[in-house]
Structure 1
Amino acid sequence: MNESALRRALLAIAVLGLAVGAGVWRTGYDSIQAGSIWTAATLPVMVALAISILRDFWIGRFGVDAIALVSMSAALLLDQPLAAVVVAIMYAGGTVLEDFARGRAERNLKALTDRSPRVAHRKSTQGTETISVDQVAVGDELLVRAGELLPVDGILLDALASLDESAVTGEPLTERRRAGDMLRSGTLNAGESFSMRASALAEQSTYAAILRMVAAAQTAKAPFIRMADRFALFLLPATLLVAGTAWYASGDPIRALAVLVVATPCPLILAAPVAFIGGVSRAARAGILMKGSAALEALAQVRTAIFDKTGTLTVGGAELIEIDAAPGGDANTLLQLLASLEQASHHVLADSIIRAARGRNLVLSHPCNVHEYRGAGLKGRVDKVSIAAGSRALVLADKPLPRWTESGEKRYRDEPVLRVFVALDGRLAGIFTFGDALRLDAHDTLRNLRSAGITRMVMLTGDDGVAAKRVSALLALDTIVADAMPAEKVAAVEAEKALAPTMMVGDGINDAPALAAATVGVAMGARGASASSEAADVIVLTDRLQPVADAVRIARRTRMIALQSIIAGLALSAAAMAAAAMGQITPVAGALLQEGIDIAVILNALRALGDGRPERA
């Protein structure tokens, strides 16, 4: 029998004993018989509790459960079997309530574990065979059927695939992937069957890493919870002192018993763990993986946020920033022609140009007579139009720039951007500017972090000062540190951490030391930088910056709820102890009152599972 089933059995025995004893007492039999039944129903709970206390004491822990054991023992010694069995019901009911609360709080984490990939379909010369995911080797060609989970990380071999990544990233919409894209285990094939090549073993894939972190999240204790455990050491002697004083002042031992009954501090035992697990679970739903309650609590206290630039505040690639079209020209037509031509190119910009065109729903044509000039650009024909695209020297040779280009040339003169000149039928038709563009959600994220209590924002980058200043000018940052090597990044993080709890947000392998040095390291893990993810305390699984602000908000709200629950629960228990010491509460009434406090506190702690925002129509 597992512990959860044992707790339910003990609660059933105590409730049955109370009911049978009450029935005997009501029928007019000797009350001694009813008392014997109540005592018999209390003893199993006492024995189980005593074993639990001894087991915890053996491993160096001493909890406040001892107060419940003392109160039941005192009730039996003072010939108050009814009070004893009610306390037994309240204690056993509290443990069952704790199981329920933990189950609710861990439901999202358990859902991740339950949907772990188990089989894969490996292609071979003999056909396709179904194997365990543990048998997949790097380089194996796998078939993923419609509705199946991707068994391991890999590379898409087919032209297109539709994936539901919500369980991993929290993104509700289906994502489209193209040949050559990286695929992550644990995502769901939401379209037709496709082929992929395994790039990692099962235990090294994304989903396995998530499950390892989930296990850590369920076992690690936050400092806040450990503080509550230490506080429990002082609670038992304090309770005995109040009970003894009440007995001495009144001469009535029943008052001391009532004090013991209402002092069982379930708010201290249950509230913090339930709230913190609920917070970790809520974050997992949003595509934010926290490595345990300690990471969540540390994140709740950060005051300084440090951001890497490339891939964190920016998208980390050459993205289309602006199109300067010649007077009378149309930017979309120009983009459609250029993207059509770039379909024949292997240049790093080609994908960015084609992606920009598809983002505007432009229909691409088939290019012909294409000639590529390595490092300079390419020429060809699209829809009977002669087009040349690339460097100024390739497109214009020695011709001067038209006057309409002057403003753009001046604007980007000292900027770290790439300018692509495009000529149609020998005449300059437009200039495309590419650079490391700011993330679309960067402004909103930094504003939300400010409102969440982050007082200082720093950009820490290995890029040159010109590029750093260009990005900083677009954001409300307090300071920038540029041209920083990994060791200098660590030193900068240490300096900020000495002034206030600090969060470092980064995505690259070179960010790993700085992430480890910060109070809380947050890795942008969507692009698979495993070194930074391993070093971080919090991992954002979706390729957006906004979840960083969401993580801080969830952490702060969770810690506030835990603190509320503990303070309110202990304050109510203290008030009940005072009333019991003055003879205002009987032991039985005290047990019922304490259970009411426990239920209220746990329900409050379960609020950490929610979003904390008003529902929208």
Structure 2
Amino acid sequence: MRGWWKRREQVLFAVTTLLLMVGAVVAIMGATSAANAVWTAATLIGLVYSTASLIAAVRRRQPSVDVIAWLALAGALWVGEAPAGAVIAVMLASGVLLEARAAARARRELSALVARAPRTARRDTATGPIEVPVAEVVVGDRLVVGSGEIVPVDGRLRGPAVLDESALTGEPLPVERRAGEDVRSGVVNAGSPLRLTATETAEASTYAGVVRLVEQAQAASAPFVRIADRFAVAFVPVTLVLAGVAWAITGDPVRAVAVLVVATPCPLLLAAPIAIMSGISRAARNGIVVKGGEALERLAAGRVLLFDKTGTLTAGRPVLTDVVTAANGQLAAGEVLRLAASLDQDSAHVLASAIVTAAHDRELRLTSPREVRERHGYGVEGVVDGHRVRLGKATWIVTGESPAWVRHARRRAALDGSLTVFVAVDDVPTAVLFLEDPLRPQAPRMVRALRAAGITRVLLVTGDRADTAEAVGRVVGVDAVRADCDPGDKLALVRAEQESAPTIMVGDGINDAPALAAAGVGVALAARGATASAEAADVVLTVDRIDALADAILIARRCRRIALWAVTAGMGLSAVAMVAAAIGYLPPVAGALLQEGIDVAAIGIALTALLPAPSHTVAMKPADIATAQRLYAEHREVRPLVEQVRTVADALNRPPYDLRPVRELLDDLESRLLVHEHAEEAELLPIMARALGGVEVTSGLSRTHAEIDHQTARLRRTVDDLVQEAEPEDVTDVRRLLYGLYAILRLHNAQEEEGAFSLVPERRADAERTRP
């Protein structure tokens, strides 16, 4: 019985259709009375179902236009038009079935994630892997994930890995991840067995959060659907008046029944929810979880966009930009980084991943630390290769009066908005590591795409300092910046903007949750974990791409547009049919068949929302993607050289002036960086021209390539001329050239990452590119 109830839409459609067909066969055989009896049975079944729907709507205190269907069915029985009643019953059943199928499809796209949640994990122990319930995994556990297995908890990779992240991101091809990178639960190991250190428990991990989001993301009634219901209910008296006038003028109740038959507003009742649910389904395939039709409708209506900065417009995870050693330090920058990264391998601190990843990028050989101790609020210490290493705040590393290099590092960090991690080796302050939260390269392009999609005002709302926020706002292209905001300030700003236009608030942190809940629609980035912001949001991006927001808005607006087309076409045809029926050109049976055709047409229009649609994403050939990804890997490898240009220039601040670091830097620039820039000129810029349409879009990058060549050559000639000990005037020229080259390289890298590499999907075409 319970199974039948779950399939009631299919049963209703099958029974009414079978009875209609049986009645037709019996009528052809000449048994008219028997045929009418069969058609009457079908009509009664439809009447019972319609009555039950009306009672349920009354109990929910919701308006319903099922009253028209009920009157049409009852009228068909009253005037003896059993064939028309049977057709109406089939029409009602087919509409109910299509709506149920659309809703089920939308839910299936979301709930498919839930069924594959991992139940166990394999803990890596001295005696080998031991299988334990995933709930028993604690932060710091070392885990092993075999080929084809699902990563059970969020963690940090202890070696390179190839992952299938399609369940969370929708990207079908494997993704290469490096040692030290964070990995999310729910992704599949697509390569050889990998090892990771757990950074979250199962309950707090990404996949558990996604499951909770899916439970919330049921296809609720959208505002458009509710408006459709109210419009359809207003349509009821118009229908009754027209039917009554037709009856009164002609004295024929069959005319009234014919009007009721073609007046059933199935296009309005079914097309709108089907289009909205199709949009939810389409969004889910792109890694966008929309919590119901109402959220999709409000997303389509949004006009003002408010962004948080950290984790939204910026990557939300720091990257190492430079290592500056103490004046007259005994250890080179590379060795300091190796010791620091070795110690941080077992640390769950948010900065540890960036330091370990940077060491792996530089191909440094890390060793296992001993006697590791975390000092909450200060840092971490331990023994690496016989050296006692400490990482942390300057006040813990540097005691007494700060030397000049420490003061310079703090000043530089304040100007750049960088984070600093100071390093002591054998209790001697040795170096400082600079880390930054980089701007997402897709952010400026995404803001332009959003404006093209209809967003009229963009605000950056952040708790960061005004100078840092203003710098990000200028690059991204926002209309206004509101800095130094606490959660209450963000909430007040959202409410103020909401008074003038529908708002969309985008954030990823706990402090964004109140603003997300108050906005017209809240959008949370949950690619690295579902936090309170995801719980409060209406739309959740499970992909780590901010440009997915533009896709979400485009999908929402397209679905609303399709719903309007379907409703307008369906109801327009129904209105014409009603007039024809009132005049007498459409008898009940023909009207029922015509109305069925109108319904199918309207629903067909609504289902086009499931079809692929234009996206702001630039299409690229697989070969071009592979080439661009290879060049981006080289781009990341030479990026530390850019910061080294500034570091070398800073070191030339007092006599005696040692130009050996400058000459070593020049050798690296000529043998590595210039070779890479020439490869980009020859290979990357043609790819950009093909993707964006024309060589003019690459002219700016080509010009900076030439300028980098020119400035490097000038620096080489200047240094080669200084064969004797450098004088202060000579060093001034060298420093000027170094700082100028540094500025050009920084600008060029930013332009390249925004204009070229942001077009490339973050994935690998095959697993063969995995580094050993």
TM-score (norm 2): 0.65
Report what 2:566 is aligned to: 565
Is 1:26 the counterpart of 2:28? The answer is yes
| CA deviation profile, 1:450-472 (whole Å, cap 9, x unmatched) | 01111111111222222122222
What is the count of residue pairs matched by the alignment? 567
Q: How far is 1:229 from its partner?
A: 2.6
Report what 1:588 is aligned to: 589
Q: How far is 1:546 from its partner?
A: 0.4
SS in 2 for 1:484: coil
Report what 1:226 is aligned to: 226
Aligned pairs for 1:134-533 (under 5 A) are 136=136, 138=138, 143-151=144-152, 153-156=153-156, 158-177=158-177, 182-195=182-195, 204-319=204-319, 342-346=337-341, 352=354, 355=357, 363-364=363-364, 393=404, 414-417=415-418, 435-528=436-529, 530-533=531-534
Does structure 2 conserve the Cα–Cα contact (< 8 Å) formed by 1:156 and 1:178? no
For 1:210 and 1:477, locate their aligned partners in 2 and report how far apart those are by CA, in whole Å. Answer: 30
Q: Residue 15 of structure 2 is aligned with which of 4, 13, 36?
A: 13
Distance change >3 Å, CA 105–CA 609, structure 1 → 2: farther
Does structure 1 conserve the Cα–Cα contact (< 8 Å) formed by 2:184 and 2:528? no
Distance change >3 Å, CA 202–CA 250, structure 1 → 2: farther
SS in 1 for 2:102: helix
Does structure 2 conserve the Cα–Cα contact (< 8 Å) formed by 1:4 and 1:99? no
For 1:142 and 1:412, locate their aligned partners in 2 and report how far apart those are by CA, in whole Å. Answer: 36
Does structure 2 conserve the Cα–Cα contact (< 8 Å) formed by 1:217 and 1:293? no
Q: How far is 1:258 from its partner?
A: 1.1
SS in 1 for 2:496: helix
SS in 2 for 1:474: helix
Distance change >3 Å, CA 489–CA 374, structure 1 → 2: same
Does structure 2 conserve the Cα–Cα contact (< 8 Å) formed by 1:18 and 1:85? yes
Report what 1:382 is aligned to: none
Distance change >3 Å, CA 419–CA 145, structure 1 → 2: closer
Identical amino acids, percent of aligned pairs: 47
Does structure 2 conserve the Cα–Cα contact (< 8 Å) formed by 1:222 and 1:295? yes
For 1:116 and 1:578, locate their aligned partners in 2 and report how far apart those are by CA, in whole Å. Answer: 56
In structure 1, the gaps of 5 or more residues are: 325-336, 378-390, 399-409, 421-430
SS in 2 for 1:457: strand
Taking only aligned residues, the RMSD between alpha carbons, in angstroms, comes to 3.9
Distance change >3 Å, CA 411–CA 583, structure 1 → 2: farther
Does structure 1 conserve the Cα–Cα contact (< 8 Å) formed by 2:181 and 2:353? no
For 1:241 and 1:188, locate their aligned partners in 2 and report how far apart those are by CA, in whole Å. Answer: 62
In structure 2, the gaps of 5 or more residues are: 325-331, 345-349, 368-384, 395-401, 422-431, 622-772
Q: How far is 1:128 from its partner?
A: 6.4
The structure with more helix, counted as a fraction of residues: 2
SS in 1 for 2:475: coil
Distance change >3 Å, CA 178–CA 267, structure 1 → 2: same
Residue type of the alignment partner of 2:42? A
SS in 2 for 1:439: coil
Report what 2:609 is aligned to: 608
SS in 2 for 1:218: coil
Q: How far is 1:61 from its partner?
A: 3.2
Q: How far is 1:537 from its partner?
A: 1.8
For 2:209 and 2:244, locate their aligned partners in 1 and report how far apart those are by CA, in whole Å. Answer: 53
Select between 471-480 and 208-217 the one with higher mean Cα deviation.
208-217
| CA deviation profile, 1:319-376 (whole Å, cap 9, x unmatched) | 467999xxxxxxxxxxxx95565222248988657746866xx655789998979779
SS in 1 for 2:527: helix
Does structure 2 conserve the Cα–Cα contact (< 8 Å) formed by 1:106 and 1:278? no
Is 1:109 the counterpart of 2:110? The answer is yes
Distance change >3 Å, CA 529–CA 116, structure 1 → 2: closer
Select between 477-486 and 99-108 the one with higher mean Cα deviation.
99-108
For 1:121 and 1:350, locate their aligned partners in 2 and report how far apart those are by CA, in whole Å. Answer: 24
For 2:223 and 2:264, locate their aligned partners in 1 and report how far apart those are by CA, in whole Å. Answer: 22
For 2:600 and 2:20, locate their aligned partners in 1 and report how far apart those are by CA, in whole Å. Answer: 21
Q: How far is 1:490 from its partner?
A: 2.1
Relative CO higher for 1 or 2, CA cutoff 8 Å, sep ≥ 6?
1
Does structure 2 conserve the Cα–Cα contact (< 8 Å) formed by 1:441 and 1:546? yes
Does structure 2 conserve the Cα–Cα contact (< 8 Å) formed by 1:213 and 1:292? no
Distance change >3 Å, CA 170–CA 393, structure 1 → 2: farther
Does structure 1 conserve the Cα–Cα contact (< 8 Å) formed by 2:110 and 2:214? yes
TM-score (norm 1): 0.80
